Structure 1
Amino acid sequence: MMRTWTISGVLDAARARIATARLAAAHGVPPLERTRLSAALSAHLRQCLTKGGTWRLTLNPITRAGGESRLEVLVTPSPEATAAGQPPWRMTLACPEPDRAPQTDAADGDPTTLAEALLGADEDTALVLRKLREQEELVAFHREELQQTNQGVVALHAELDAAGRAQREAFAAERKARTEAEEARRRLTFLADASAVLTTPLNHHEILRRLPDLLKPAYAGNVDLWLFETDGDEPREGAHPAAVTAARTGRPQYAADHPGGLAGVDDHPPSPERSARPVLCIPLPTRREPLGVLTMSPPGERWDPDDAVMLVELTRRASIAIDNARRYEHNRDIAETLQRALLTELPTPDFLGLAARYLPATHGLNIGGDWYDAFRQPDGGVIAVVGDVTGHGLHAAVMMSQLRTALRAYAVDGGSPGRLLTRLHNFLHNLQPDLYATAVIARFHPDEPTMTWAAAGHPPPVLRGPDGRVRVLDAKPGAMLGIPLKQDIADHTVRVAPGTTLALYTDGLVERRARGIDPGIERLAAALGSFGPQELRIDLGGAADGILDPLLSDSERDDDVCLLLCHLREGG
C-alpha cells in the first residue's frame, strides 16, 4: 500500500525518515540496504529543509512481472523548488518479503513508537559496524599470516587496510555531516522562534525591546539600534563608522582588524577611536527605505559565517515586523480618531434620558464598525440607533460614518424605524455589495404612549418597565443590511410608560465564543433589572457603567462593545 508524508519542517522530516526505515524493514529490505537508504534519504531531506517549502515523501511497493517486488522511495519537491527546476529524488530497493508490510503508519508521533524506530535504526547501524569489525579482524588475521609468505600477499593486505580506512573516513564524514545538520537545525529553529516572537506584538516599541534580548548572549555581546526616524538619518553622535557606511550603502558591514569572510557582508577597517573588538553592522531594510542600523559585537572572538548569515536574515525579518507594526499603529490611530469624532454627543430632550458607552476591542485591530447615535426628527420624535458594520479597521470606520450620515439624512424626511432600515439596506447594497451591517432603531415621541422599533440582523432590544420587570423584545427581525436580497423590514410597536428603560447594544457586549449569545442577553437583562427606579432616573450614565462592569469582567475582548440606554422620564 502506498504511503505519503508531507514534510515542511525538521520534525516532519525525522518522522518520515523513521517511517521509511521501518517500512523498508517490514518489506524485507536487508539491513545494509536500509542503512544506505536512510543515509541517502537523510542527506536529501537536509537539502529540502534548507531550500524551504513543503515536500512530499512517497513510499510505493511495486510488483513487476514474474513476481519480483521492489520498494520505490520518491521525494517530490515543493512547488517553489519545482519552478526553480529541482527534479524529484528517487531510490528503488529490492523487497524479498513484501507481504510483511504493516497496514498502519509507522511514525504516528507516539514516543514509544519513535523510540523503537530509533533503536531499530541503531540495530541496522550496529549490524553494518559488526560486519565492518569482522572484516577488520579478518584483515588483521590475514595480515599476520600473509606477512610470512610473500610481498604480494602483503601488498594485498595493504589494499584491504586502505579500504578499512576509507570506510572509517566515510563514517567520520557522516558524523561531521550530522554535526553540521544539527547546527543548521539549531539556527533554523532559533530563526523560526525569534521570528514568531518579533511578529507577535503590534507595537514597534515592543519589537525593539525584544530584539536585543533575543540576540544576547548567544549571538551578540552588545547590541545597539540606530533608528533613522528617532535619531535622524544623519550620522548620530557616537555612531560607529561601519554603521554609517551600512546606513549609506544599505549593505552589512564587518569592522575588525582581520577579514571577516562573511557571505554578503563587506569588510570595513576598524575604528581607531574604538576597541579592536569586531563589530557587525546590519541595515534594517524595508520595501521603501532602511529604518536604521543594528550594530552588535560577537559573543566570543568572532562570528561563525553561518551564524552571520542567520543574523542578517533575522534583522531583515525584524525590520519587516517593525515596519508592519508602524503601519498598523498609523492606521489604528487614524481609524480611532475618525470613530471617536463620529460618536457625537447625545441630544437632551425633556422627555427622554440618553446614555451611551463605547469600548473598542482589547486586541487585534481594535477599531471596528460599532456605532450609536440619537437625534431629533422634525416632528419632535427622537431616533435612537445602534449598529455594527462587519470588519475592523479604517474601512469599517469609514463605512460606519457613511451609514450614520445616510440615516440622519433619511430621518429628516420622517419615516418609521423599519422604513429607515429598509432604505439603509438598499443604500448599503448599492454602495458596497460585499459589505454588511446590522442595526436596531427605536423611535420615541413625547405625545405617543408607544415606542416603535425595528431590527436588521441585530441582537434584540431589552426593555425594563417602570415596575422593574425586564423582557427581551424578540420579535422577528429583518435580515442583515446589504445582503443581496430585497426586503422590507417591519416595524414593531410596544406600549411604554414613564420610567421605562430600553437597552440597545452590539453583540460584543453579550456574545462569548465559549457560551454563545443567549446567556449574555440573559445577563444583560438581569443587570438592567437590578437597578432601582431612582438610579435610572438620576444617573443613567452610572447605570450604563454598572451594566458593563459585570458583563465585561474578562479583560480580553475580541469585538467592540456599544451600549445605548434610553430612559423615558416622568412628566416629559
Structure 2
Amino acid sequence: MSVERELSGPLSAELARAVRAGRLPADAWAVLAEVLESLDPATPVGHVVESLTDIVPGQLGETELPSQEVRTPARGSRDRDLRWRLTDKPVVGSPSRDDIDRTAFLDEVSRASATSLNSAEMLSQVSALVQSHQLADVTRVWRSTDDGLRCATPSSGDVRPDLTAQQALITRRSVRTGSSRLSVPLLAGRHALGVLDLERRHRGFTADDVSLAHAVAGRTALGLRNAYEYEREHELAQRLQHAMLPALVELDEFDIAARYRSSTRGVHIGGDWYDAFSRSDGTVVLTVGDVTGHGLDAAVVMGQLQNALRAYALEGHGPASSLRLVHELLRESRGSLYATAVVVEVQLRSGMIRWASAGHPPPLVQDASGDVVYLDAEHGPMLGIDLTPSIPEHRRSLTPDSSVALYTDGLIERRRSDLDAGMARLATAFERCGDGKVAERTDNVLHEMLGGTDHDDDVCLLLCRWLGPARPDVP
C-alpha cells in the first residue's frame, strides 16, 4: 500500500520522502497508522517525521513488523514508544501556559510513581494528582491479576470492572465510552499491568486530554512495575527467612514464644536468628544472634552459626565455650562478616541459668512480681573479629514464674534515640505487658516497641517463662 493511500496531506508527502531516502522502512505503515491515529492533529509534521526516524530499523524493521492484515498486541510497546516520543516532543518557541502546566503535572506524576514502593500508596497519590489537575472527576485503577481485573484504588470500594475497562486491557489501547469516559491500559514493556479508568461528569475528553492520559498511564505503569517487583521480592525474602527459623521446644515447665519481623525498608534477607532446644540433662538452651549485613551471604552465615551453636550446646559445651567455638568457625571461614550472639542455659529442675554474650544486647529478666532487670554483665567481643576472645560466663537463679527475654538490636535501636533510651522503652513495655500467655505478651511487646511504624532493621524476640520445677505425679 502506498503512502498516499494510507495517509493524506503534507504528512503523507513528508513520510513518503523519508521512505525514499531510506530513513523509514517501507513496511512500517501498519504500525505508524495506529500511532498516528492517537496523535493530536495539531502536532507539527516535522516533529512527527523526526520522531519516527529516531527509531532504529531494528526496532521498526520489516522482520519485527506483523503483516498489515494481522494486528497483534505485540506491536503495542512499539506503538507506545512512538506515541510517547511524539506527545512529549517539545514545542519550538516560547511554551504556552498549558504546556508549562502539563509538564509540571507530569513531573508530579513521575515523582509520585518513583518515590513509593508501596503500590497502594503510589496509586492513591497518582489518583489524587489526576483529580486535583482536573483531568478526571472519578479515577479508578484496575490491577491485572490471574483472576482478572481487580480494583486497586482503596476509596473505590468493592466494584467490578465493566466492558470498557476489560476491552482496554485486552486490546492494549485506550477505549472511550461516549465523550466522558476513558480507559487507558497501564503498559510496561510487553506487560499489561492494569487499566487507568477516568471519568468526567460535565465535560468530555479532548484529544489533548487523551494524549495527557496516555502520558500519565505510562509513568504510572513504570512505578507500578517497580512496586510489584519490590513487593514480590520482599515477600520471597520473608518466606525464605521464616523457612530458616527453627521450631521451638515444647515443655511442661517452660512456656516459650518467639517472633521475627523483617525490616520494612528495602528488600533483603537478614542475618537475625533465634533458637530454643532442650538437652537430655534437663537443660533448655536459648540462643539469639545477629550477623552483620544483609543479603544471601548474611543468611548463609546465619544458618551456619545457628546450626553450629546448637551442635556445640547439644554436645554439652556451656554458653561461653560454645561461643568461642563458633568464633573460631567464623574466623576460619575468612569471610568479611561478623556476628553478635547470646546463649542462655536454663536448668528446669532448679531454675539456675548460665549465660554468655559476644557483643550482644543483654538479656532481660522479669520476676514474678513484675520487676524488670537487665543481665548487663561483662561480655566478650563480636564473633569473627581478629583476636582471641575472652568470653566470660555468668550465673543467676530464677524464681518460679520468672521470664527471660532475648532480642536483637533492631528492637531497641532507633535513628533518633540512643541505645539506653531503647532499653528503657523495652523494660517499660515488659512491665506494661506482664499479663497473659507468653505468646500474647510477645506480640504485645512488639506492638509497644514497633507499633505501625517502619523499622530499618530486622527484629527477633525470644521470650520464655519458667513455671517452676516439675512436680512428681501423686498417685
TM class, shorter-chain normalised?
Answer: 0.5 to 0.7
Tell me the equivalent position of 1:370: 272
Determine if contact 1:384/1:443 at 8 Å carries over to the other structure.
yes
Determine if contact 2:237/2:267 at 8 Å carries over to the other structure.
no
User: Please, which of 134, 144, 153 is the counterpart of residue 218 of structure 1?
Assistant: 134
Aligned partner of 1:321: which letter? Answer: G
Determine if contact 1:384/1:441 at 8 Å carries over to the other structure.
yes
Q: Secondary structure of the equivalent of 1:218?
A: coil
User: Please, which of 176, 197, 215 is the counterpart of residue 112 of structure 2?
Assistant: 197
User: Please, which of 378, 389, 403 is the counterpart of residue 488 of structure 1?
Assistant: 389
Tell me the equivalent position of 2:250: 348
* Per-residue deviation, residues 440-499 of structure 1 (Å, max 9, x unmatched): 11122346774322222321112345776643222333333445x244351311231433
Aligned partner of 2:358: which letter? Answer: A
* Per-residue deviation, residues 288-313 of structure 1 (Å, max 9, x unmatched): 644356576897563449x93x6555
User: Please, which of 450, 454, 459 is the counterpart of residue 356 of structure 2?
Assistant: 454
Determine if contact 2:272/2:290 at 8 Å carries over to the other structure.
yes
Distance in 1, Cα, partners of 2:439 & 2:184 = 56
Aligned partner of 2:187: which letter? Answer: L
Greater fraction of residues in helix: 1
Determine if contact 2:363/2:374 at 8 Å carries over to the other structure.
yes
**Stretch moving more, 560-569 or 370-379:** 560-569
Q: Secondary structure of the equivalent of 1:291?
A: strand
Query: Given the superposition, is the C-alpha separation of residues 318 and 514 from structure 1 closer, same or farther in structure 2, using an over 3 Å criterion?
Result: same
Determine if contact 1:361/1:560 at 8 Å carries over to the other structure.
yes
Aligned partner of 1:302: which letter? Answer: T
Distance in 1, Cα, partners of 2:273 & 2:343 = 12
Aligned partner of 1:192: which letter? Answer: D
Q: CA deviation at 1:214?
A: 3.2
Aligned partner of 2:462: which letter? Answer: L
User: Please, which of 258, 283, 302 is the counterpart of residue 206 of structure 2?
Assistant: 302
Q: CA deviation at 1:237?
A: 8.0
Determine if contact 2:183/2:198 at 8 Å carries over to the other structure.
yes
Q: CA deviation at 1:551?
A: 4.1
5+ residue gaps, structure 2: 1-91, 150-160, 471-475
Q: CA deviation at 1:565?
A: 2.8
Determine if contact 1:417/1:453 at 8 Å carries over to the other structure.
yes
Report how many residues are paired: 364
Determine if contact 2:169/2:192 at 8 Å carries over to the other structure.
no
* Per-residue deviation, residues 319-373 of structure 1 (Å, max 9, x unmatched): 2221222222222222333334444442234554433344445565597443321
Determine if contact 2:283/2:347 at 8 Å carries over to the other structure.
yes
* Per-residue deviation, residues 216-249 of structure 1 (Å, max 9, x unmatched): 463357767675545769xx983589947963xx
Q: CA deviation at 1:398?
A: 6.1
Q: Secondary structure of the equivalent of 1:513?
A: coil
5+ residue gaps, structure 1: 1-175, 248-252, 256-270
**Stretch moving more, 442-451 or 416-425:** 442-451
Query: Which aligned pairs between 1:99-178 and structure 2 lie closer than 5 A?
Result: none
Identity over aligned pairs, percent = 37
Query: Given the superposition, is the C-alpha separation of residues 554 and 327 from structure 1 closer, same or farther in structure 2, using an over 3 Å criterion?
Result: closer
Give TM-score, length-normalised by structure 2: 0.60
Determine if contact 2:256/2:465 at 8 Å carries over to the other structure.
yes
Tell me the equivalent position of 1:472: 374
Query: Given the superposition, is the C-alpha separation of residues 301 and 555 from structure 1 closer, same or farther in structure 2, using an over 3 Å criterion?
Result: closer
Q: Secondary structure of the equivalent of 1:490?
A: coil
Q: CA deviation at 1:439?
A: 1.9
User: Please, which of 183, 187, 194 is the counterpart of residue 284 of structure 1?
Assistant: 187
Tell me the equivalent position of 1:515: 417
User: Please, which of 531, 556, 564 is the counterpart of residue 462 of structure 2?
Assistant: 564
Query: Which aligned pairs between 1:252-331 and structure 2 lie closer than 5 A?
Result: 275=178, 281=184, 284-286=187-189, 289-292=191-194, 294=196, 302-304=206-208, 308=211, 312-331=214-233
Q: Secondary structure of the equivalent of 1:441?
A: strand
* Per-residue deviation, residues 152-202 of structure 1 (Å, max 9, x unmatched): xxxxxxxxxxxxxxxxxxxxxxxx95553x555433332232222223443
Tell me the equivalent position of 2:64: none
Tell me the equivalent position of 1:169: none
Query: Which aligned pairs between 1:46-125 and structure 2 lie closer than 5 A?
Result: none
Q: CA deviation at 1:209?
A: 5.0
Distance in 2, Cα, partners of 1:206 & 1:326 = 12
Q: Secondary structure of the equivalent of 1:474?
A: coil
Q: Secondary structure of the equivalent of 2:276?
A: strand
Bigger RCO of structures 1 and 2 (CA < 8 A, at least 6 apart): 2
Aligned partner of 2:286: which letter? Answer: A
